[in-house]
Protein backbone atom coordinates (compact mmCIF):
# COMPACT_ATOMS: atom_id res chain seq x y z
CA UNK A 1 0.00 0.00 0.00
CA UNK A 2 1.77 3.16 -1.13
CA UNK A 3 0.52 6.72 -0.73
CA UNK A 4 1.15 6.97 3.03
CA UNK A 5 3.73 9.78 2.86
CA UNK A 6 3.03 13.49 2.36
CA UNK A 7 5.54 16.30 1.79
CA UNK A 8 8.77 16.94 -0.12
CA UNK A 9 11.34 18.03 2.50
CA UNK A 10 9.22 18.10 5.66
CA UNK A 11 7.46 14.74 5.34
CA UNK A 12 4.97 12.76 7.34
CA UNK A 13 4.31 9.03 6.99
CA UNK A 14 1.30 7.73 8.90
CA UNK A 15 0.72 4.08 9.81
CA UNK A 16 -1.78 1.87 11.60
CA UNK A 17 -5.36 0.66 11.45
CA UNK A 18 -8.36 1.55 13.58
CA UNK A 19 -8.44 -1.74 15.50
CA UNK A 20 -4.80 -2.79 15.13
CA UNK A 21 -2.21 -2.48 17.90
CA UNK A 22 -1.21 1.14 17.30
CA UNK A 23 -1.34 4.18 15.02
CA UNK A 24 1.16 6.98 14.57
CA UNK A 25 3.53 8.95 12.39
CA UNK A 26 7.15 9.22 11.31
CA UNK A 27 8.15 12.83 10.66
CA UNK A 28 11.24 13.46 8.54
CA UNK A 29 12.94 16.75 7.65
CA UNK A 30 12.58 18.20 11.14
CA UNK A 31 14.76 21.22 11.97
CA UNK A 32 17.28 20.19 14.68
CA UNK A 33 17.56 21.92 18.03
CA UNK A 34 13.91 22.95 18.40
CA UNK A 35 12.37 22.55 21.85
CA UNK A 36 9.44 20.13 21.79
CA UNK A 37 7.96 17.69 24.28
CA UNK A 38 5.17 15.13 24.53
CA UNK A 39 2.88 17.59 26.36
CA UNK A 40 2.95 19.98 23.38
CA UNK A 41 1.94 17.26 20.90
CA UNK A 42 -0.59 15.86 23.39
CA UNK A 43 -2.51 19.18 23.46
CA UNK A 44 -3.30 18.77 19.76
CA UNK A 45 -4.10 15.05 20.15
CA UNK A 46 -6.63 15.85 22.88
CA UNK A 47 -8.49 18.16 20.48
CA UNK A 48 -8.92 15.34 17.94
CA UNK A 49 -9.61 12.32 20.15
CA UNK A 50 -13.08 10.74 20.18
CA UNK A 51 -15.47 10.78 23.14
CA UNK A 52 -15.16 14.53 23.78
CA UNK A 53 -18.88 15.35 23.74
CA UNK A 54 -22.39 14.19 22.81
CA UNK A 55 -21.75 15.11 19.17
CA UNK A 56 -18.68 12.91 18.59
CA UNK A 57 -18.04 9.16 18.54
CA UNK A 58 -18.26 7.69 22.09
CA UNK A 59 -15.16 5.50 21.47
CA UNK A 60 -12.92 6.01 24.53
CA UNK A 61 -9.37 6.53 23.34
CA UNK A 62 -7.01 8.48 25.57
CA UNK A 63 -4.62 8.94 22.66
CA UNK A 64 -1.60 9.20 24.94
CA UNK A 65 1.40 9.67 22.68
CA UNK A 66 4.94 8.40 23.04
CA UNK A 67 7.88 9.99 21.24
CA UNK A 68 9.98 6.98 20.27
CA UNK A 69 12.85 8.79 18.50
CA UNK A 70 14.09 12.10 17.14
CA UNK A 71 14.07 14.08 20.42
CA UNK A 72 16.99 14.28 22.88
CA UNK A 73 16.92 16.23 26.14
CA UNK A 74 13.77 18.06 25.07
CA UNK A 75 15.08 19.13 21.65
CA UNK A 76 14.64 17.76 18.14
CA UNK A 77 17.77 16.05 16.79
CA UNK A 78 16.90 16.34 13.08
CA UNK A 79 16.55 12.54 12.81
CA UNK A 80 13.17 10.90 12.09
CA UNK A 81 10.72 11.81 14.82
CA UNK A 82 8.54 8.78 15.49
CA UNK A 83 5.32 9.22 17.48
CA UNK A 84 3.19 6.23 18.48
CA UNK A 85 -0.25 5.79 20.09
CA UNK A 86 -1.53 2.43 21.26
CA UNK A 87 -5.16 1.62 20.45
CA UNK A 88 -7.17 0.67 23.53
CA UNK A 89 -10.95 0.80 23.12
CA UNK A 90 -11.29 -1.72 20.28
CA UNK A 91 -14.49 -3.68 19.75
CA UNK A 92 -13.87 -5.61 16.53
CA UNK A 93 -16.94 -7.77 17.23
CA UNK A 94 -19.10 -4.68 16.53
CA UNK A 95 -17.99 -4.95 12.89
CA UNK A 96 -18.64 -8.68 12.33
CA UNK A 97 -21.92 -7.86 10.63
CA UNK A 98 -20.25 -5.70 7.98
CA UNK A 99 -17.39 -8.17 7.44
CA UNK A 100 -19.04 -9.52 4.33
CA UNK A 101 -21.12 -6.54 3.16
CA UNK A 102 -20.41 -3.05 1.97
CA UNK A 103 -21.54 0.06 3.86
CA UNK A 104 -22.91 2.61 1.38
CA UNK A 105 -20.64 5.68 1.28
CA UNK A 106 -17.73 4.00 3.09
CA UNK A 107 -14.56 2.56 1.59
CA UNK A 108 -15.46 -1.13 2.12
CA UNK A 109 -16.27 -1.84 -1.54
CA UNK A 110 -13.35 0.09 -3.03
CA UNK A 111 -10.70 -1.31 -0.63
CA UNK A 112 -11.78 -4.86 -1.46
CA UNK A 113 -11.75 -4.10 -5.20
CA UNK A 114 -8.23 -2.70 -4.95
CA UNK A 115 -6.47 -5.07 -2.53
CA UNK A 116 -8.62 -8.20 -2.59
CA UNK A 117 -8.36 -8.21 1.22
CA UNK A 118 -9.72 -5.76 3.79
CA UNK A 119 -9.39 -5.14 7.53
CA UNK A 120 -13.08 -4.53 8.22
CA UNK A 121 -12.54 -3.82 11.93
CA UNK A 122 -13.46 -0.16 12.45
CA UNK A 123 -12.75 0.54 8.74
CA UNK A 124 -9.05 -0.36 9.05
CA UNK A 125 -6.89 2.25 7.39
CA UNK A 126 -9.91 4.15 5.99
CA UNK A 127 -10.91 5.07 9.54
CA UNK A 128 -10.85 8.58 10.97
CA UNK A 129 -8.37 7.05 13.43
CA UNK A 130 -5.66 7.28 10.76
CA UNK A 131 -5.78 11.05 11.27
CA UNK A 132 -4.27 10.68 14.78
CA UNK A 133 -0.85 10.31 13.12
CA UNK A 134 -1.49 13.40 10.98
CA UNK A 135 -2.31 15.49 14.04
CA UNK A 136 0.88 14.34 15.81
CA UNK A 137 2.95 15.17 12.69
CA UNK A 138 1.08 18.46 12.30
CA UNK A 139 1.93 19.39 15.90
CA UNK A 140 5.65 19.09 15.06
CA UNK A 141 5.12 21.33 12.01
CA UNK A 142 3.07 23.77 14.10
CA UNK A 143 5.96 24.09 16.58
CA UNK A 144 8.38 24.96 13.74
CA UNK A 145 5.85 27.42 12.26
CA UNK A 146 5.36 29.15 15.63
CA UNK A 147 9.04 30.08 15.46
CA UNK A 148 8.31 31.60 12.03
CA UNK A 149 5.36 33.62 13.39
CA UNK A 150 2.73 31.60 11.49
CA UNK A 151 -0.66 30.83 13.08
CA UNK A 152 -3.10 28.26 11.71
CA UNK A 153 -6.71 28.33 12.88
CA UNK A 154 -9.65 26.22 11.66
CA UNK A 155 -13.28 26.27 12.81
CA UNK A 156 -16.73 25.11 11.79
CA UNK A 157 -18.63 27.55 9.56
CA UNK A 158 -21.71 25.46 8.81
CA UNK A 159 -23.34 22.19 9.96
CA UNK A 160 -26.49 20.58 8.57
CA UNK A 161 -27.41 23.81 6.74
CA UNK A 162 -27.02 25.98 9.89
CA UNK A 163 -24.54 28.77 9.20
CA UNK A 164 -22.39 30.89 11.49
CA UNK A 165 -23.49 34.51 11.09
CA UNK A 166 -20.70 36.00 13.20
CA UNK A 167 -17.04 35.28 13.96
CA UNK A 168 -15.72 35.07 17.52
CA UNK A 169 -12.34 33.37 17.72
CA UNK A 170 -12.50 33.11 21.52
CA UNK A 171 -15.45 30.71 21.55
CA UNK A 172 -14.19 28.16 18.99
CA UNK A 173 -12.56 25.77 21.44
CA UNK A 174 -15.37 26.32 23.99
CA UNK A 175 -18.29 24.77 22.10
CA UNK A 176 -18.68 21.12 21.13
CA UNK A 177 -18.87 21.78 17.38
CA UNK A 178 -15.94 24.24 17.25
CA UNK A 179 -18.15 26.86 15.58
CA UNK A 180 -17.21 30.55 15.43
CA UNK A 181 -20.74 31.77 16.37
CA UNK A 182 -22.16 30.70 19.77
CA UNK A 183 -25.85 31.07 18.74
CA UNK A 184 -25.33 28.91 15.66
CA UNK A 185 -23.30 26.42 17.77
CA UNK A 186 -26.31 25.71 20.02
CA UNK A 187 -28.54 25.08 16.97
CA UNK A 188 -25.88 22.86 15.37
CA UNK A 189 -25.52 20.75 18.52
CA UNK A 190 -29.33 20.32 18.74
CA UNK A 191 -29.49 19.31 15.10
CA UNK A 192 -26.71 16.70 15.44
CA UNK A 193 -28.28 15.26 18.60
CA UNK A 194 -31.68 14.95 16.88
CA UNK A 195 -30.16 13.27 13.82
CA UNK A 196 -28.14 10.89 16.01
CA UNK A 197 -31.36 9.82 17.77
CA UNK A 198 -32.81 8.99 14.35
CA UNK A 199 -29.62 7.09 13.45
CA UNK A 200 -28.73 9.62 10.74
CA UNK A 201 -25.83 12.03 10.19
CA UNK A 202 -25.00 15.41 8.61
CA UNK A 203 -22.07 17.24 7.05
CA UNK A 204 -20.84 20.82 7.04
CA UNK A 205 -18.21 23.37 6.11
CA UNK A 206 -14.92 24.01 7.92
CA UNK A 207 -12.92 27.18 7.28
CA UNK A 208 -9.20 27.65 7.82
CA UNK A 209 -7.36 30.97 8.24
CA UNK A 210 -3.57 31.09 8.19
CA UNK A 211 -1.89 34.27 9.42
CA UNK A 212 1.70 35.45 9.23
CA UNK A 213 2.83 33.62 6.06
CA UNK A 214 5.54 35.47 4.12
CA UNK A 215 4.87 36.34 0.46
CA UNK A 216 6.59 34.01 -1.99
CA UNK A 217 5.75 30.46 -0.79
CA UNK A 218 4.58 27.91 -3.38
CA UNK A 219 6.24 26.08 -6.28
CA UNK A 220 4.51 26.69 -9.62
CA UNK A 221 3.41 25.03 -11.69
CA UNK A 222 2.37 21.61 -10.37
CA UNK A 223 3.19 22.32 -6.70
CA UNK A 224 1.29 25.58 -6.37
CA UNK A 225 0.56 26.39 -2.73
CA UNK A 226 -3.20 26.17 -3.29
CA UNK A 227 -2.82 22.87 -5.18
CA UNK A 228 -0.75 21.43 -2.34
CA UNK A 229 -3.24 22.59 0.31
CA UNK A 230 -6.07 21.13 -1.81
CA UNK A 231 -4.32 17.75 -2.02
CA UNK A 232 -3.65 17.79 1.72
CA UNK A 233 -7.28 18.57 2.52
CA UNK A 234 -8.81 16.16 0.01
CA UNK A 235 -6.61 13.40 1.46
CA UNK A 236 -8.61 13.63 4.71
CA UNK A 237 -11.51 11.16 4.85
CA UNK A 238 -14.97 12.70 4.25
CA UNK A 239 -13.63 15.92 2.62
CA UNK A 240 -15.38 16.44 -0.70
CA UNK A 241 -14.47 19.95 -1.83
CA UNK A 242 -12.30 22.99 -1.24
CA UNK A 243 -12.46 26.67 -2.18
CA UNK A 244 -10.02 29.53 -1.62
CA UNK A 245 -11.00 33.11 -0.84
CA UNK A 246 -14.14 34.05 -2.81
CA UNK A 247 -14.08 30.46 -4.07
CA UNK A 248 -17.03 29.34 -6.20
CA UNK A 249 -18.66 32.79 -5.75
CA UNK A 250 -15.89 34.12 -8.04
CA UNK A 251 -17.70 32.47 -10.94
CA UNK A 252 -20.50 35.07 -10.70
CA UNK A 253 -18.33 38.13 -9.90
CA UNK A 254 -16.99 40.69 -12.36
CA UNK A 255 -13.26 41.08 -12.83
CA UNK A 256 -13.52 44.59 -11.41
CA UNK A 257 -15.13 43.14 -8.25
CA UNK A 258 -12.94 40.08 -7.84
CA UNK A 259 -9.48 41.57 -8.50
CA UNK A 260 -7.55 42.39 -5.35
CA UNK A 261 -6.52 45.96 -6.14
CA UNK A 262 -3.37 47.37 -4.54
CA UNK A 263 -2.12 50.67 -3.19
CA UNK A 264 1.16 51.64 -1.56
CA UNK A 265 0.07 49.95 1.71
CA UNK A 266 -0.72 46.65 0.04
CA UNK A 267 -3.82 44.76 -1.13
CA UNK A 268 -7.25 46.38 -0.79
CA UNK A 269 -9.17 43.07 -0.62
CA UNK A 270 -8.45 39.33 -0.39
CA UNK A 271 -10.73 37.54 -2.84
CA UNK A 272 -7.79 35.35 -3.87
CA UNK A 273 -7.59 33.84 -0.38
CA UNK A 274 -3.94 34.83 0.00
CA UNK A 275 -2.54 32.88 -2.97
CA UNK A 276 -2.09 34.13 -6.56
CA UNK A 277 -0.31 32.15 -9.26
CA UNK A 278 0.20 29.40 -6.70
CA UNK A 279 2.37 31.72 -4.55
CA UNK A 280 1.44 33.29 -1.21
CA UNK A 281 0.70 37.03 -1.33
CA UNK A 282 1.50 37.66 2.35
CA UNK A 283 -2.19 38.18 3.15
CA UNK A 284 -4.10 35.67 5.29
CA UNK A 285 -4.56 32.35 3.47
CA UNK A 286 -8.26 31.46 3.68
CA UNK A 287 -9.93 28.28 2.46
CA UNK A 288 -13.08 26.27 3.18
CA UNK A 289 -13.66 22.53 2.88
CA UNK A 290 -16.95 20.70 2.53
CA UNK A 291 -17.35 17.67 4.80
CA UNK A 292 -19.80 14.97 3.77
CA UNK A 293 -22.35 13.48 6.19
CA UNK A 294 -20.87 10.46 8.04
CA UNK A 295 -21.58 7.39 5.94
CA UNK A 296 -21.99 4.89 8.82
CA UNK A 297 -25.61 5.40 9.85
CA UNK A 298 -28.18 3.13 11.47
CA UNK A 299 -30.91 4.09 8.98
CA UNK A 300 -31.69 1.04 6.84
CA UNK A 301 -30.13 1.23 3.34
CA UNK A 302 -29.76 -1.03 0.33
CA UNK A 303 -26.43 -2.69 -0.35
CA UNK A 304 -24.82 -5.92 -1.55
CA UNK A 305 -22.63 -8.49 0.17
CA UNK A 306 -19.28 -9.80 -1.13
CA UNK A 307 -21.15 -12.44 -3.15
CA UNK A 308 -23.07 -9.62 -4.89
CA UNK A 309 -26.37 -10.50 -3.21
CA UNK A 310 -28.72 -7.63 -2.38
CA UNK A 311 -29.43 -6.91 1.27
CA UNK A 312 -30.50 -4.22 3.75
CA UNK A 313 -27.83 -2.74 6.02
CA UNK A 314 -27.92 -0.67 9.21
CA UNK A 315 -24.53 0.33 10.61
CA UNK A 316 -24.58 0.20 14.38
CA UNK A 317 -21.54 0.95 16.52
CA UNK A 318 -19.74 4.07 17.59
CA UNK A 319 -19.59 6.74 14.92
CA UNK A 320 -19.34 10.51 14.66
CA UNK A 321 -22.85 11.77 13.75
CA UNK A 322 -21.05 14.80 12.23
CA UNK A 323 -17.34 14.79 11.44
CA UNK A 324 -16.80 18.59 11.49
CA UNK A 325 -15.88 19.05 15.18
CA UNK A 326 -13.16 16.38 15.00
CA UNK A 327 -11.88 17.30 11.56
CA UNK A 328 -10.96 20.86 12.64
CA UNK A 329 -7.62 19.86 14.29
CA UNK A 330 -6.88 17.53 11.34
CA UNK A 331 -7.33 20.42 8.87
CA UNK A 332 -4.97 22.57 10.94
CA UNK A 333 -2.43 19.73 11.12
CA UNK A 334 -2.37 19.14 7.36
CA UNK A 335 -2.15 22.91 6.68
CA UNK A 336 0.84 23.10 9.05
CA UNK A 337 2.57 20.21 7.24
CA UNK A 338 2.12 21.90 3.83
CA UNK A 339 3.37 25.27 5.06
CA UNK A 340 6.44 23.96 6.91
CA UNK A 341 7.33 21.92 3.83
CA UNK A 342 7.04 25.00 1.60
CA UNK A 343 9.11 27.18 3.96
CA UNK A 344 11.83 24.53 3.71
CA UNK A 345 11.48 24.29 -0.09
CA UNK A 346 11.77 28.07 -0.36
CA UNK A 347 14.93 28.05 1.79
CA UNK A 348 16.40 25.23 -0.33
CA UNK A 349 15.69 27.18 -3.54
CA UNK A 350 17.51 30.27 -2.22
CA UNK A 351 20.67 28.31 -1.30
Q: Interface with ligand FMN by CB under 6 A: which residues?
A: 57, 106-107, 126-128, 131, 236-238, 292, 294-296, 319-320, 323, 326-327, 330
Which is nearer to ligand FMN, 191 or 326 (by Cβ)?
326
Question: How near is the Cβ of 258 to ligand FMN at its closest, in Å?
Answer: 30
Which is nearer to ligand FMN, 47 or 345 (by Cβ)?
47
Which is nearer to ligand FMN, 285 or 328 (by Cβ)?
328
3-state secondary structure the chain: CCCCEECCCCEEEEEECCCCCEEEEEEECCCCCCECCHHHHHHHHHHHCCCCCCCCCCCCCCCCEEEEECEECCEECCCCEEEEEECCCCCHHHHHHHCCECCCCCCHHHHHHHHCCCCCHHHHHHCHHHHHHHHHHHHHHHHHHHCCCCEEEEEEEEECCEECCCCCHHHHHHCCCCECCHHHHHHHHHHHHHHHHCCCCCCEEEEEEEECCCCCCCECCCECHHHHHHHHHHCCCCEEEEEECCHHHHHHCCHHHHCCCEECCEECCCCCCCEECCEECCCCEEEEEEECCCCCCCCCEEEEECCCCEEEECCCCCCCCCCHHHHHHHHHHHHHHHHHHHHHHHHHHHC
Question: How near is the Cβ of 131 to ligand FMN at its closest, in Å?
Answer: 5
Question: How near is the Cβ of 265 to ligand FMN at its closest, in Å?
Answer: 40
Question: How near is the Cβ of 4 to ligand FMN at its closest, in Å?
Answer: 14
Question: How near is the Cβ of 321 to ligand FMN at its closest, in Å?
Answer: 8
Which is nearer to ligand FMN, 36 or 154 (by Cβ)?
154
Which is nearer to ligand FMN, 57 or 76 (by Cβ)?
57
Amino acid sequence: MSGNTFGEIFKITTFGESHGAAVGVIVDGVTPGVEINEAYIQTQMDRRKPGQSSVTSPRKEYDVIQIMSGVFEGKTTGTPLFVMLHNHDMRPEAYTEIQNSFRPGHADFTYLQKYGIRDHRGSGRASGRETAGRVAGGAVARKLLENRGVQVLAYTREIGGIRCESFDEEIIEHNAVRACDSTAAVKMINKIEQLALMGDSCGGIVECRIRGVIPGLGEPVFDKLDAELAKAMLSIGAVKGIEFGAGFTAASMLGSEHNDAMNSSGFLSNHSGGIIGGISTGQDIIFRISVKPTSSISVSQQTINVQGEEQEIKTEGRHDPCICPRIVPVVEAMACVVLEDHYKRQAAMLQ
